[in-house]
Chains A and B, each alone.
Chain A
């Protein structure tokens, strides 16, 4: 039977077991691996991979197991892992300011992008994301978007909200990436560029330091949520199954165009394949590729460090971004292979990029 540690702190909601143990280890000057072996058993006898034992955690922290399970998802049998992200992230610094022993790493739901209480961007998990989260004081529309996003998740479920927001980000990314060279009938990408300049300063070294794919989602988040509403809501989604050009489909595409600020004749998919492409893709269902437990199954303590490949890739993206300031082009999370490759007829040959792509 384990004895209670002399210095104890409460776990944060959604905190990972590793994060909690690391904080306890810092408070009590016991090495984390030693503490981990106290509260865990081998998953398979003789193997190095270990799994936490809730009862031992309860003895070590002198807290009821039910209380720990409420805070730590890994201790609760009722945790829906598909609703949580597969990587832990730094929590809002003000939400966790009273937690002792170091920073808190939490598992957020897929629809948690902003701390609405304190106005910090949490965003999707990112390599090299540190504890300094960007404050959103200068982008109030991002805060408002999170409220709508939460509403979406409450009304339609976390997986439907995940599916919808991924679609939303994809569509916005295409507009952002190609809007400056092609005429999509909207200048919204300029607003996005301005928002981006507020969260990642323009100057070279600092922009490399502050670059993260997570931050690059900030500018397009409000519009992505607006688009997500068109996909998550069943009544709107039902319109996407109709063929392009049909009145129902056109109604959906018109609404999409409104939300993206597309005006004039470009609102009609005949002139803007983007809308048609968006409508086609909206019918696809996207699910999280991994869960936190599935991804870390055979590790020593249920966690895995970022691979060197992904770290190198991140550095390349940061350098590219510092040079070109094209955030949309650096997104790695989403698969852009299925971008619309039809160009509006009048746009062909108007830019070097589209010429190169046409070759």
Chain B
């Protein structure tokens, strides 16, 4: 979606250059993420490239490398489902005084949970900014990450940090909470995204207090809470009385890797690869090349959207750097992947090798 100028007609500070140390969990970093829209560079033809001096050619290559490093997002089924659920929940919760419903995105790592969560927030924020273009104080989305070994105070400080409030160690927890709730109300926060909730362990007292703190925020802040974490069901999030309450209020959206068993699953995977291939800006890359390597790409990535994206983007950058301007299997082989994907690929290769050997022996 291309951002129009009205979408960006917000407080001037959002349009200012963001200083360093502004991750997604600060309003400045979040604002930068929302307004960031990678524009595909124009792919120059051979005739257009020929007269260009080396410096301009290098600049063009640099632009394309940057673009491929930041390839636009593909709407995966998880993202689509989360966007639909999230939008409905925000509508349903708008007039609720309490007992608002939420959603939990749960799955193993590399399945795109954080990406999906961020996309939900971005879509919501853009919609709200279009509706209220002149309200410079509005912060529709609050994004926080639960820190490791989180305590109730640490969680409250994370919420405050999003707003830019850096409380000292002597600040009272009640003051921090009151400040967060006051600001959430006055800046019209209506969607709160909490990532890494697997860092809250209900089995420990500290974790239980942190969970209570989160629930307290959910009661005081009139917003829809969407949480994300690694395999939260297995972590015991729904166990015990607290867990039962969470289970009674939150919809679980599973984030799993893509499957490749049935025809429909293969078609879905192939469509995903084709969509990503369509975004590439390489001079010599023939359309359909990656679609033809769908099986290989599945084995390499283990069906993980994160690994697939890394593989294709890495190969594209290597193709620009070595001048071949096309992605081949050899180039894909060079791209290093995460341990899980690599292990999965090695195992599947070994299995395929053993199956081939048995077939050869049988014949």
Contacts and interface: CB of A to CB of B under 8 A. Distances in A.
Interface of A: 1-8, 27-31, 34, 37-38, 62
Interface string B17-40: 001010000111000000000000
B26 A29 contact: no
A27 B137 CA distance: 11
Contacts of B171: 34
| Chain A interface helix/strand/loop/mixed | loop
Contacts, number: 52
Contact of B166 (A3, A6, A28, A29): A3
B247 interface: no
Contacts of A8: 137
B164 A3 contact: yes
Contacts of A62: 13, 16
Interface string B172-196: 0001001101110011000000000
A258 B90 CA distance: 77
A3 B178 contact: no
B167 A4 contact: no
Contacts of B166: 2-3, 38
A176 B145 CA distance: 71
Given A29-B178, A29-B183, A30-B179, A7 B168 contact: no
Interface in B131-149: 137, 139
B182 A1 contact: no
Interface of B: 13, 16, 19, 21, 26-28, 137, 139, 163-168, 171, 175, 178-179, 181-183, 186-187
B179 to A, nearest CB: 4
23 contacts: A1-B19, A2-B166, A3-B28, A5-B164, A6-B137, A6-B139, A6-B183, A6-B187, A7-B137, A7-B186, A7-B187, A8-B137, A27-B186, A28-B163, A28-B179, A28-B182, A29-B182, A30-B179, A31-B175, A34-B168, A34-B171, A34-B175, A62-B16
Nearest to B20: A1
B96 to A, nearest CB: 23
B161 to A, nearest CB: 8
Question: What 5 A-B pairs are tightest by C-beta distance, nearest first?
Answer: A3-B164, A29-B182, A29-B179, A6-B163, A62-B13
Contacts of A30: 165, 175, 179
A109 B47 CA distance: 72
B165 A28 contact: yes
A4 B28 contact: yes
Contact of B183 (A2, A3, A28, A38): A28
A146 B179 CA distance: 44
Contacts of A28: 163, 165, 179, 182-183
Given A6-B137, A6-B139, A37-B168, 4 more contacts: A3-B164, A6-B183, A29-B178, A29-B182
B32 to A, nearest CB: 13
Contact of A6 (B19, B21, B164, B181): B164
A136 B13 CA distance: 41
A123 to B, nearest CB: 35
Given A28-B179, A28-B182, A4 B164 contact: yes
Contacts of A6: 27, 137, 139, 163-164, 183, 186-187
Contacts of A1: 19, 21
A6 B21 CA distance: 17
Contacts of B187: 6-7
A212 B309 CA distance: 74
Contacts of B167: 34
Contacts of B168: 34, 37
A37 to B, nearest CB: 7
Contacts of B183: 6-7, 28-29
Nearest to A27: B186
A31 B167 CA distance: 10
A34 B170 CA distance: 9
B319 to A, nearest CB: 40
A3 B166 CA distance: 8
Contacts of B175: 30-31, 34
A31 B178 CA distance: 10
Contacts of A5: 163-165
A3 to B, nearest CB: 3
Nearest to A28: B183
Contacts of A37: 168
A1 B21 CA distance: 10
B348 to A, nearest CB: 47
A38 B171 CA distance: 12
Chain B CB count within 10 A is highest, among A3, A28, A62, for A3
A30 B163 CA distance: 11
Contacts of B163: 5-6, 28
A297 B21 CA distance: 36
Contacts of B139: 6
A4 B182 contact: no
A4 B178 contact: no
B285 to A, nearest CB: 43
B173 to A, nearest CB: 13
Contacts of A34: 167-168, 171, 175
A42 to B, nearest CB: 14
A36 to B, nearest CB: 12
A37 B26 CA distance: 21
Contacts of B21: 1
Contact of B26 (A3, A7, A31, A38): A3
A35 to B, nearest CB: 9
A31 B165 CA distance: 11
Nearest to B161: A3
Nearest to A59: B19
Contacts of A7: 137, 183, 186-187
Nearest to A34: B171
Contacts of B179: 28-30
A8 to B, nearest CB: 8
Nearest to A61: B13
Contact of B13 (A2, A4, A27, A31): A4
Contacts of A4: 13, 28, 164
A75 B167 CA distance: 24
Contacts of B182: 28-29
